[in-house]
Amino acid sequence: MPDNRMHIALFGPPGAGKSTQSKFLLKRWPIVSLSTGKMLREEAAAGTELGLKVRELLGRGELVDDETMIATIRKWLENLPPDKGFLLDGFPRTIPQAEALDEILNELGRPLTGVVNLKLSVSEAVYRLGGRRICYGAGPEEIIHINDEEAVDRCLARGGLLVQRADDLPNVIVKRLNVYEGETEPLLAYYRPHNIVLTVDASGDPEAVAQRIVFGFEKK
């Protein structure tokens, strides 16, 4: 498969390392990553008609509705250079979004070539997220793990504080994982008949996980 035909949707539960894998894959293939949050903020800042609607919704603290989200995704994809593939992280989240995405991509002649499904056990997710801390108050915030003694010592030596996010408490993590599973399984069922779902073990070294993704596509 030509590298510029890599059109990927990336799924993975909290703690699976989606952002880390995105960075690896951007180095491996000539693709552009779409962060839905960043895209919405940029559209709002641009002050376009669509951006003003996004700005209004975000200003009220409301979730962006499917119609607005899909219109924003369409605009982004229509402006994507033909020599670039893409990586979608955070979209689609529902079956209607997936159906709308398929319609847009078929119109553009750029259908999804892969759905990467990162798998991580509950115990590993709780370990990763439950041990995650933010080094706060000592320059740029840094995310570290409480078991990384070198990183912890470095933070404390700079006068930083180790802060745990409220959504990284174990009971909250389990709830987040359950919500993710409920949202994502119907999407995977939607895509499986198209034979584009690549399930990858997300445990272990991040570089090894990235190699599993690349190897899985090379076998297709």
Residues acting as catalytic residues: 18, 93, 132, 165, 176
Q: How far apart are CA 116 and CA 123, in angstroms?
A: 21
Pairing of strands 142-145, 132-136: antiparallel
Q: Do you find a cis peptide bond into 92, omega within 30 degrees of 0? A: yes
> What are the residues whose beta carbons fall under 8 Å from the beta carbon of 55, sequence distance 6 or more?
44, 47
Query: 60-64 — which CB contacts under 8 Å span 24+ positions?
Result: 64/40
Residues 61/55, Cβ–Cβ less than 8 Å: no
Q: Which residues are bridge partners to 115 per DSSP?
A: 9, 197
* CA quadruple 165, 139, 24, 38: dihedral sign: positive
Task: Say whether 154 sits in a helix, a strand or coil.
Answer: helix
Q: What is the DSSP letter of 61?
A: T
Residue 39 · residue 92 · CB < 8 Å:
no
Rounded to an integer, what distance in angstroms lies between the CA atom of residue 37 and that of residue 49? Answer: 18
